[in-house]
Chain A
Amino acid sequence: MTAGVRTVLTRPFHVSGWFPLLMALAGMLLVMVAAWQLTGISFKPYDALVLEQAAFYPDSGGVCSPSISDSLAYASDVPEPIATQLLNCVRQLGRAGAQGREVQLPHEWRTRTDSFPELMSGRGLYRISLDLGGNQPVLYGLYLPAINSNAAVFLNDVLLGWGGSFEQPVARNATRPMLFSIPAGLLREGRNWIDVYVVAEPVPRGFLDKLYLAPIEVLEAAYHEHGIFRHEIPRAIALSLLVISLFIGVLWFYRRRETEYGLFALASLCWAVNAMDQFVVDIPLPVFYWDWLMMLSLSGFVFLGVMFVHRFLHEAHPQVERLMLMIGVPVVLLCLVLPRTYAYLVVLYVWNPVLLVYGAYVLLFILHKIGQQYASRELYALVLAIAVIFIFASYDFTVQMGWRSQVNGMFLHFGAPVLMLSFTWILLRRFVSSLQATETYNRKLLTLNQELEQRVAERGRRIAESYETIRQFEQREVLLNERSRIMRDMHDGIGVYLTSMLRQLDTASIDREQLRDSARNALNDLRLMIDSLGNASTDLSAMLGMFRTRISAVLDACGMELEWAVDELPQVADFGPERALNLLRILQEAVTNAVKHSGSERVSLSAGTELQPGRSNRIKIEIRDNGKGFVDERPGGNGLKNMQYRAKKIQAELAVSSDGQGTSVTVYLPVAAGQGDSMTLAQSGGRLNGVAGTRKK
């Protein structure tokens, strides 16, 4: 159950607490009066001849067979038809009990068993004399409104009809009125005899209501109305209970956490089974087991009803339910094994009162909740339905106890439509409430979505502003860092050369050659710095191109040849002005050393991507001369150390090798992630062949 529905359920009725309670009580009183009137409904055809006096001949001597086989009707050899058997039975009973006892109809056997011990046979004959003063102007009929269990009717020794099987278990006609038409001429002026042979099972339930004689057209209309009330409506009620049981059962299947639906479905099913007792004529079981099944279904209905109410009100009372089961299960099982007479007594005097007490408990339980201001409209609907059921159940109890006549039948099943209407209304109300709540939530959700979108847009705008601010701060920081780096590079590079020149100028003898070298070095460093700050600083190939321009002039001046072999190069990781300057300084130092110290005629610069299986590729830049080489570093020389320092600073590897054929300085730069891995074989081959960009001078 959703929270919304629970809210609806427990919402207080917005009227004063006592007023609804009084209304409920008034409604119950009204229902009680209506029920009382309803129980008074009986068959009253217009102007019919009512037969109320009869002579009764119980079959104490076993004249009639306890079970007359129905199979005779279908047998190939029928020595004596059922009608003949019945007629013989009636004639013999009439003779045997010539002095029949006068009884008043309706005649109930349960109250006469003391004075009629022979009634215990369960069979008896009612003989009614009928003195008619007039002829039979139209077709007449004989009507039996209620009888238990079965009867065969004779008029002047002619069988008019019977109510079904006389074979055990006999047909049950307690709620099925019977109408027999009288053949023309059979009803004669003067003395007529009507014989009604009655079989009752069990014996205490036997009875015969008044008989009615009237033209068939008069009886027919009343018979239909009475039959619908007594027989057809209970059938429709049982069917409705079955349908609603299935419907609520399916509802419970999809919402199994709400056990009240499952309990209601089971209770309805039990009630549907119990209501079958009101219209099933030919029962499929022996009477005792059928009655036990009815007792079981009624008990199940009451138990499940109590459990349903507990859960419907969200009031757990496991002790009460456990106590009910502890009492109920043994009693129900006991009735199955006890001798029949005792079993019926236990049901009548013990179990039925207990069930009635359970019903009263449920009613008082809900009224108590209403008194606690816990009421809702659903609760009022439920209490009204249960009150109606309780009233009908109380009436049935009085019938079973013998305080009221059983000829009018039982009325408990008439409470079912009220309960079904009530519960259907509750379900419908919950459905509508849920629907309305869903629509409300949807509208709220839509509004919330719009608000959320606006908030997200606002937050997005603020985040963009924050990012812009951060970007500006980062730009400033980069600018400051770059300024610092440039100042540092100028201090370490050109500053050193200028300081050296100043010191030389301060000395007495000026070495012009040395001064020129310092000035040239200062100028070269300045050019390198300018190159490293240019647009090509992030592109290694372009930067090498600029470097080629710088050194070409120097090498030309020295009469040295430059061989240039540079492939297409991938991006270098984090390659920027700082790394570019350091790389240029390394290359510049290598070229300067070659010019100054190698005595070579040719300098070559090659660059390409070196494939490393299982590792990231790298860029290899090599400057090689064909000079005399060197054996080791001169003491105090810082050239190679500076180169190593700068290589480490830009995360590159430096390899210097020298032999009698010349000197080689190689720089390995790591390739940016995702760059150079896809280097084609053609590119690789081109680099190895060293054919690209060779220039000789």
Chain B
Amino acid sequence: MKKGIIILLGTLILNLGVAHAATASFQHNNSSGGKGVDTVSLSAPGSCMVFRSARLEFSKRRYGSARISRLPAAGCNPGREQCTLAVEWEHGPAGGLDYQVVADWSSGGC
């Protein structure tokens, strides 16, 4: 019990000042299969927020895969520069992919 409370508090402290934001969603459902690269220009959820990290969240992943092939530099500030992210994807016939790019932002850009 005590240990659980410590972990919870620690997580809250670490996440203090961190924001999560879904940047873009993609669907690839070509019955003949397919592959390609999705490019996303990131935008901050608020002012003074800088890019920290990004990940993919799949709502459908059948006989295919996707991975982030290129990330903007850590601390990239969309207000000052272009923060671009690239995702390589591929699925076979009768497969499909539905995913969204979720970026983590942190304050301190101002």
Q: Across the interface, do B35 and A214 meet the contact criterion of CB distance under 8 Å?
A: no
Interface centre among B33, B91, B95, B96 (most CB of A within 10 A): B33
Q: What 4 A-B pairs come out closest when comparing CB atoms? A: A134-B33, A133-B34, A214-B94, A49-B31
Which chain B residues in 19-35 approach chain A with CB under 8 Å?
29-35
A–B Cβ pairs within 8 angstroms, 7 of them: A47-B62, A47-B94, A48-B31, A48-B94, A132-B33, A214-B94, A215-B95
Chain A residues with Cβ under 8 A from B58's Cβ?
A: none
Supposing A49-B31, A50-B31 touch, asked if A134 and B96 sit within 8 A by C-beta, the answer is no
1/0 per position for B70-98, CB-CB distance to A under 8 A? Answer: 00000000000000000000111111100
Answer yes or no: A283 CB below 8 A from chain B CBs: no
Chain B residues with Cβ under 8 A from A37's Cβ?
A: none
Q: Across the interface, do B34 and A137 meet the contact criterion of CB distance under 8 Å?
A: no
Which chain B residues in 52-82 approach chain A with CB under 8 Å?
62-65
Answer yes or no: A131 CB below 8 A from chain B CBs: yes
Answer yes or no: A178 CB below 8 A from chain B CBs: no
For A140, give its contact among B31, B34, B91, B93 (CB under 8 Å).
B93
Q: Across the interface, do A49 and B94 meet the contact criterion of CB distance under 8 Å?
A: yes
Q: Across the interface, do B92 and A213 meet the contact criterion of CB distance under 8 Å?
A: no
Supposing A47-B62, A47-B96, A215-B63 touch, asked if A134 and B31 sit within 8 A by C-beta, the answer is no
Which chain B residues in 29-45 approach chain A with CB under 8 Å?
29-35
1/0 per position for A106-140, CB-CB distance to B under 8 A? Answer: 00000000000000000000000011111111101
Answer yes or no: A276 CB below 8 A from chain B CBs: no
Chain B residue nearest in CB terms to A134: B33
Q: How many residues of B contact A (CB 8 A)?
A: 18
Q: How far is the CA of A135 from the CA of B91 in the complex (A)?
A: 7
Supposing A49-B32, A50-B31, A215-B63 touch, asked if A134 and B94 sit within 8 A by C-beta, the answer is no
Which chain A residues in 169-191 approach chain B with CB under 8 Å?
187, 189
For A133, give its contact among B30, B62, B63, B65 (CB under 8 Å).
B30
Q: How far is the CA of A189 from the CA of B32 in the complex (A)?
A: 9
Chain A residues with Cβ under 8 A from B91's Cβ?
A: 134, 137
Answer yes or no: A331 CB below 8 A from chain B CBs: no
Answer yes or no: A218 CB below 8 A from chain B CBs: yes
Q: How far is the CA of A138 from the CA of B95 in the complex (A)?
A: 10
For B32, give its contact among A47, A131, A137, A218 (CB under 8 Å).
A131
Q: Across the interface, do B32 and A214 meet the contact criterion of CB distance under 8 Å?
A: no
Give min CB distance, B67 to chain A, whole Å.
Answer: 14
Interface residues on A, range: 20 to 34
Chain A residue nearest in CB terms to B29: A47
Give min CB distance, B27 to chain A, whole Å.
Answer: 13
* A interface, CB within 8 angstroms of B: 47-50, 130-138, 140, 187, 189, 213-215, 218
Chain B residues with Cβ under 8 A from A140's Cβ?
A: 92-94
Q: A133-B34, A134-B92, A218-B94 are in contact. List 13 more A-B contacts (CB 8 A).
A: A47-B95, A48-B31, A49-B31, A49-B93, A49-B94, A132-B92, A134-B35, A135-B92, A137-B95, A138-B63, A138-B92, A140-B94, A215-B94
Chain B residues with Cβ under 8 A from A130's Cβ?
A: 32
Chain B residues with Cβ under 8 A from A215's Cβ?
A: 63, 92, 94-95
Chain B residues with Cβ under 8 A from A137's Cβ?
A: 63-65, 91-92, 95
Q: How far is the CA of A185 from the CA of B34 in the complex (A)?
A: 16
Give min CB distance, A170 to chain B, whole Å.
Answer: 31
Give min CB distance, A387 to chain B, whole Å.
Answer: 42
Chain A residues with Cβ under 8 A from B30's Cβ?
A: 133-134
For A47, give its contact among B31, B34, B65, B90 (CB under 8 Å).
B31
Chain A residue nearest in CB terms to B90: A134
Chain B residues with Cβ under 8 A from A187's Cβ?
A: 93
Q: How far is the CA of A49 from the CA of B64 in the complex (A)?
A: 15
Q: How far is the CA of A215 from the CA of B32 in the complex (A)?
A: 12
Q: How far is the CA of A137 from the CA of B92 in the complex (A)?
A: 6
Q: How far is the CA of A187 from the CA of B93 in the complex (A)?
A: 10
Q: Across the interface, do B94 and A135 meet the contact criterion of CB distance under 8 Å?
A: no
Q: Across the interface, do A132 and B94 meet the contact criterion of CB distance under 8 Å?
A: no
Supposing A133-B35, A134-B33 touch, asked if A213 and B94 sit within 8 A by C-beta, the answer is yes
Chain A residues with Cβ under 8 A from B63's Cβ?
A: 137-138, 215
Q: How far is the CA of A508 from the CA of B31 in the complex (A)?
A: 171
Q: How far is the CA of A215 from the CA of B95 in the complex (A)?
A: 9
Q: How far is the CA of A189 from the CA of B96 in the complex (A)?
A: 16
Q: How far is the CA of A684 from the CA of B77 in the complex (A)?
A: 160
Give min CB distance, A134 to chain B, whole Å.
Answer: 3
Chain B residue nearest in CB terms to A140: B93
Chain B residues with Cβ under 8 A from A131's Cβ?
A: 32
Give min CB distance, A201 to chain B, whole Å.
Answer: 33
Chain A residues with Cβ under 8 A from B62's Cβ?
A: 47
Q: How far is the CA of A48 from the CA of B32 in the complex (A)?
A: 9
Chain B residues with Cβ under 8 A from A133's Cβ?
A: 30, 32-35
Chain A residues with Cβ under 8 A from B32's Cβ?
A: 49, 130-134
Chain A residues with Cβ under 8 A from B96's Cβ?
A: 47
Chain B residue nearest in CB terms to A45: B94
Give min CB distance, A155 to chain B, whole Å.
Answer: 12
Q: How far is the CA of A263 from the CA of B31 in the complex (A)?
A: 55
Q: How far is the CA of A213 from the CA of B34 in the complex (A)?
A: 15
Give min CB distance, A211 to chain B, whole Å.
Answer: 12
Chain B residue nearest in CB terms to A189: B33
Q: Across the interface, do A136 and B92 meet the contact criterion of CB distance under 8 Å?
A: yes
Interface centre among B30, B62, B94 (most CB of A within 10 A): B94
Give min CB distance, B86 to chain A, whole Å.
Answer: 18
Chain B residues with Cβ under 8 A from A138's Cβ?
A: 63, 92
Q: How far is the CA of A135 from the CA of B63 in the complex (A)?
A: 10
Q: How far is the CA of A47 from the CA of B34 in the complex (A)?
A: 14
Give min CB distance, B87 to chain A, whole Å.
Answer: 15
Chain A residues with Cβ under 8 A from B33's Cβ?
A: 132-135, 189
Chain B residues with Cβ under 8 A from A135's Cβ?
A: 33, 35, 90, 92
Q: How far is the CA of A136 from the CA of B65 in the complex (A)?
A: 12
Chain B residues with Cβ under 8 A from A218's Cβ?
A: 94
Give min CB distance, B106 to chain A, whole Å.
Answer: 37
Q: How far is the CA of A134 from the CA of B32 in the complex (A)?
A: 7
Chain A residue nearest in CB terms to B31: A49
Q: How far is the CA of A189 from the CA of B35 in the complex (A)?
A: 10
Q: How far is the CA of A130 from the CA of B92 in the complex (A)?
A: 13
Q: How far is the CA of A132 from the CA of B90 in the complex (A)?
A: 12
Q: How far is the CA of A187 from the CA of B94 in the complex (A)?
A: 13
Chain B residues with Cβ under 8 A from A48's Cβ?
A: 31, 94
Give min CB distance, B32 to chain A, whole Å.
Answer: 5
Chain A residues with Cβ under 8 A from B35's Cβ?
A: 133-135
Chain A residues with Cβ under 8 A from B34's Cβ?
A: 133-134
Interface centre among B63, B90, B91 (most CB of A within 10 A): B63
Chain A residues with Cβ under 8 A from B31's Cβ?
A: 47-50
Chain B residue nearest in CB terms to A141: B94
Chain B residue nearest in CB terms to A50: B31
Chain A residue nearest in CB terms to B93: A49
Q: How far is the CA of A47 from the CA of B64 in the complex (A)?
A: 13
Chain B residue nearest in CB terms to A187: B93
Give min CB distance, B61 to chain A, whole Å.
Answer: 11
Chain B residues with Cβ under 8 A from A189's Cβ?
A: 33
Q: How far is the CA of A189 from the CA of B93 in the complex (A)?
A: 10
Chain A residues with Cβ under 8 A from B65's Cβ?
A: 137
Chain B residues with Cβ under 8 A from A47's Cβ?
A: 29, 31, 62, 94-96
Give min CB distance, B19 to chain A, whole Å.
Answer: 35
